[in-house]
Structure 1
Amino acid sequence: MKNRQNIFNLLFGGLLSVFSSSVFADDMSDNRVFVSSDNPNIVYMGRISRSIPETIRFTYPGVSIYANFEGTSLQMKAKPGSGSFMVEIDDNLPYRINFSEKDSIHTLAEGLPEGTHSARIMYVVEGYEMKPEFKGFYLDNGCSLTDAPVLPTRRIEFVGNSMTCGYGVESDNPLEPFSYETENHYYTYAARTARALHAQHLVVARSGIGVYRNFGAPRTGSSDCMPNMYNQVFFSDSTELWDFSNYTPDVVCVNLGTNDTSLDNYDIELLTDAYRKFIKKLRNIYPDAKLVLLSGSMLTGKSLQDVRNAMDKVAAEMNGDGDKEVYRFDMSPQTGSLGMGADYHPSMRQHQKMASELTEYLRKLMNW
C-alpha cells in the first residue's frame, strides 16, 4: 500500500502537469519570486507558532497551508528533515512529498496553464521528533500570491491518539512496525470526515497517548498524558502555550482510551476520573461547543466495554449537571474484514468506514 501513491504519481503526474521534485536552494533560478511564510495571503489551519519571524512551526498532523498563486509553477521551501506533506493543486489528485534531511525546496507543480491556481498542503505525520518548519513559496518571475483563500466556516477539533494521527494507514501488513512512510493523516477518519462535511479541522493527537495513562505506562498513569499536554502549541515543548482564541470549534471529537487500557494494566476509576476532568476542562475552554466522546476502532472485549462505560458515565454526569451538549458515539470496532494497517492499526478502508459513520452522525448532530 505504501508505494501505490508514489506509483500513481509517476504514471499520471505528467498528464496533470503537477508533480513534486526536490532541489537544493543553490539550484533555484535567481529570477524567481520568493514569498515568505508570513505573507498575509497564506492561510493556515491547525496549531502553529509564529514566534520566529518568517517561519511557521508546528508538530501536530493535519496542520494545513492554503494559498492562491499566479503563474505556471510553484515551489515550497521548508526546513530539511521536516517530513511529509500531502499536496493538492487546483482540482488535481493529491500526492505526497517528503522533506528529507537533504531537501530544502520541493517543486510542487510546473507546466500549469497561465492564470491563477490554488494550493492546499497538509502536514501528515507526527512532527514532534522532526520539528518541521515552513519557510515560504517560490513563484514564477513577475508573479505573486492572489487574495487569501477563504476557509470553511464550520470547525471541528479532533483530540486523539495514533488512529487520529494516521499511524500505519498506508500499509496493508499488520506485522509491519511503525514507519513515517506509512503514517498519513490525510487518509484518516478525522480528515475524511472534515472534508465530507466541508469543515476546517484542528488536530491534537499523538501515537501512544492516553487520557490518563499512555501505552505501556504504569497503572497509576502518565505525567505526559493528553490533558497535561493539551495546552501546548508543540507536543514536545511546554514553553509555548496555544491561544485558544485562534480557533473556536463548533464540535470537539475526543477519541482516547485505547492506550489507557493497553496491556490490561489499567485502573478504570482513574481512567473515568481523568475523562471527567478533561471534558470539564474542554467545556471551560469552549463553553459553546458540542463535545463528542468517541470509541473506535481498535478496542475490543472488556477494554472496549470499560472505556464505553467510562465515557457513558461522564457524559451522563455532565448532562445531569445541566450540560446537555456532551454526547457519545461509537465507531465500529475493526474485525479484519477491511484489512489491517501497520501494527494492527486501522487500514485505509477501515478509516473510510469510520469516517462514513462519524460523518453521518455529525451531519445530524450539527444540522450540517
Structure 2
Amino acid sequence: MITVARQYLVFGVWLLCAVSVQALEVSPSSEAISYRGRIDFSDPAAPVFSWPATRIDVNFHGESVAVTLDDELGKNYYSAFIDGDWKRPIVLGLHKGQHRYEVIDDLAAGDHTLTLVKRTEGEEGATRFLGLNFNEGAKLLPASKLPQRRLEIYGDSITSGMGAMAPLNGEDGRLLDKNSFMSYGAITARALGADYRSISQSGIGIMVSWFDFTMPDFYDQLSAVGDNDSVWDFSRWTPQVVVINLLQNDSWLVDKRLDPVPTDAERVQAYYDFIDRIHKRYPKALLIGALGSMDATQADSPWPGYIQSAVENYRRDHPKAQLATIVFPFTGYGQHPRVVHHQANAAKLTAFIRERMDW
C-alpha cells in the first residue's frame, strides 16, 4: 500500500487495482456517517454534494481509510482531515468519473474521526459520494451529534473562498486555491461550534451577476450546479443566524450590464426584497446584512449604505424581525481575500454573533 504524508498536497487517482483491499466497506446510508450541507439524497446509496463546504464526518476504530467518489467534471477539490486537525488537510484533487481515493493508511491503531469537506463550489460540478473503505479489523463508532447552533450564509466568491489559499502576490484563479472551509463563514462556524451552510456562488449578485442568474433565482435550489429546477426543502434545516454577504458583484456590474441603471432607491429595494425572501423562510432567525471585505466597502462606497437603508426599512415594516448589519472593511488588498483576511473577518463576525446570540 502506498503511504502518503499528511500535508498540503494534491492526490492523483488511485484505481482499485493500485489500492490494497479494504476489509470494511461502508455504505453512504450508514447511520455512522453524519452529513452537513444541502445534499441530494434522492439515491441514499449515492448522495450528491454540490454546495461549497458540504461535509461528512465519521468516527471509526482503525488504521486506514479510503473514499469512493464519482465526480461530474473532474474539477472539484476536497479536504480530508483526521481527528479535527484543521491545520493539516489531505487535499483530494478529483478526476472525472468514479474512483477510489486513499486518504491515509498509516494511522496509529485506535479511535479516529474522518472529516471530508468540499472546497470548491457548484460551478465545479457535483460529486456523488459512494462510500468508505477501512482496513481489515476496523469498526465504525457512533456518529457524533450535529451542533444545535446553525449558521447559514448567502454569498458570492468571498463566501465561497475564491483564492483563499493563494499567496498574497499570487493570482486568484487556481481551483486548488478555492477553499470554502477556510472562508470567514466556515471559520466563524467552527469558532461558534455551529453547523454551517454556504449558499454561495462566485460572481453572483442580487440584481446582476457575471452570468444570467442572480441569488434570488439561485438561493432555493437543492443543487448548486448552475441555474436549475431543483428545489430545496427549507423545513429540513433551520438556522438561528443567517448572513447575507452580497452586492460586491452588483457594485461592479450595475452600470455596465443593466439598462436602465438602477436608481439608489431601486438598489435598496432589491436588497430589501431579498431580506424578505429569507425572513419568510426563517422568521425567527437573526438576519445580518453584511458586505465585504473587497472594494464595495472602501471609504467612498455607497453600497454599505444601501444595505443599511434596506435593513432599516425592513425593520420599520416588520418590527418583530431580528435584523442587524456588519461591514468587513476594505484593507486596500486588491484581490479576493486570502486566509489572513478571512481570519480577521471571522474574528469580527464571531464576536458580533456571540454578542447578539449569547453564544
Tell me the TM-score normalised to structure 2 length: 0.88
1:271 deviation in Å?
A: 2.5
* Secondary structure in structure 2 of the residue aligned to 1:269: helix
* Secondary structure in structure 1 of the residue aligned to 2:6: helix
Alignment of 1:329 onto 2:326: yes
Aligned position for 2:80: 87
Tell me how far apart the structure 1 counterparts of residues 80 and 232 of structure 2 sit (CA, whole Å).
26
Aligned position for 2:306: 310
Alignment of 1:32 onto 2:29: no
Deviations 1:114-163 (A, max 9, x none): 23211111111113332212111001224332211112111000110000
Q: 2:281 aligns with which of 272, 281, 285?
A: 285
1:249 deviation in Å?
A: 0.3
Tell me how far apart the structure 2 counterparts of residues 345 and 118 of structure 1 sit (CA, whole Å).
32
| Alpha carbons 2:10, 2:93 under 8 Å: kept | no
User: How has the CA–CA distance of structure 1 residues 225 and 303 changed in structure 2, closer, same or farther, with 3 Å as cutoff?
Assistant: farther
Tell me how far apart the structure 1 counterparts of residues 297 and 158 of structure 2 sit (CA, whole Å).
18
1:66 deviation in Å?
A: 0.8
| Alpha carbons 2:218, 2:227 under 8 Å: kept | no
1:28 deviation in Å?
A: 4.1
Aligned position for 1:232: 221
User: How has the CA–CA distance of structure 1 residues 32 and 22 changed in structure 2, closer, same or farther, with 3 Å as cutoff?
Assistant: farther
Tell me how far apart the structure 2 counterparts of residues 44 and 147 of structure 1 sit (CA, whole Å).
14
Alignment of 1:364 onto 2:358: no
| Alpha carbons 1:82, 1:133 under 8 Å: kept | no
* Secondary structure in structure 2 of the residue aligned to 1:239: coil
Aligned position for 1:3: none
* Secondary structure in structure 2 of the residue aligned to 1:227: helix
Deviations 1:185-241 (A, max 9, x none): 1111111111111111101000000011113x7xxxx5x100111110112253321
Please tell me the residue identity of whatever aligns with 2:356.
L
| Alpha carbons 1:82, 1:131 under 8 Å: kept | no
User: How has the CA–CA distance of structure 1 residues 354 and 320 changed in structure 2, closer, same or farther, with 3 Å as cutoff?
Assistant: same
Alignment of 1:66 onto 2:66: no
Aligned position for 1:51: 42
User: How has the CA–CA distance of structure 1 residues 304 and 273 changed in structure 2, closer, same or farther, with 3 Å as cutoff?
Assistant: farther
* Secondary structure in structure 2 of the residue aligned to 1:260: helix
Deviations 1:264-312 (A, max 9, x none): 6152333322211111111111011000000111124789732212111
Aligned position for 1:178: 173
Give 4+ residue runs of structure 1 displaced > 6 Å after superposition: 18-21, 301-304
1:73 deviation in Å?
A: 0.8
Computed over aligned residues only, the root mean square deviation of the Cα atoms, in angstroms, reads 2.5
| Alpha carbons 2:59, 2:114 under 8 Å: kept | yes
Aligned position for 1:242: 232
Alignment of 1:121 onto 2:111: no
Aligned residues: 344
Amino-acid identity (%): 28
| Alpha carbons 1:68, 1:147 under 8 Å: kept | yes
Moved more, 136-145 or 344-353: 136-145
User: How has the CA–CA distance of structure 1 residues 291 and 301 changed in structure 2, closer, same or farther, with 3 Å as cutoff?
Assistant: closer
Tell me how far apart the structure 2 counterparts of residues 301 and 329 of structure 1 sit (CA, whole Å).
11
Aligned position for 1:296: 292
Aligned position for 1:252: 242
Q: 1:207 aligns with which of 202, 206, 213?
A: 202
Tell me the TM-score normalised to structure 1 length: 0.86
Please tell me the residue identity of whatever aligns with 1:258.
Q
Please tell me the residue identity of whatever aligns with 1:144.
K
Please tell me the residue identity of whatever aligns with 2:332.
T
1:31 deviation in Å?
A: 5.2
Aligned position for 2:190: 195
1:103 deviation in Å?
A: 7.0
**Which consecutive unaligned segments of at least 5 residues does structure 1 have?**
1-8
Aligned position for 2:258: none
Please tell me the residue identity of whatever aligns with 1:125.
T
